[in-house]
Amino acid sequence: VQLVESGGGLVQAGGSLRVSCAVSGRTFSTYAMGWFRQAPGKEREFVAGINWSGGNTYYADSVKGRFTISRDNAKNTVYLQMNSLKPEDTAVYYCARHYGGGGSAAQSEYNYWGQGTQVTVSS
Q: What does the pLDDT read at residue 103?
A: 92
Q: What is the pLDDT of residue 26?
A: 85
| pLDDT recorded at residue 79 | 98
Tell me the mean pLDDT per 10 residues along the chain, length 123: 96 98 94 97 98 97 98 97 98 97 96 98 96
What pLDDT is attached to residue 25? 86
b/e map of 23-53 (b: 16 or more CB within 10 Å)?
Answer: beeeebeebbbbbbbeeeeeebebbbbbbbe
Alpha carbon distances (Å) from 40 to 13, 45, 66:
18, 12, 22
Residue 122's pLDDT is 97
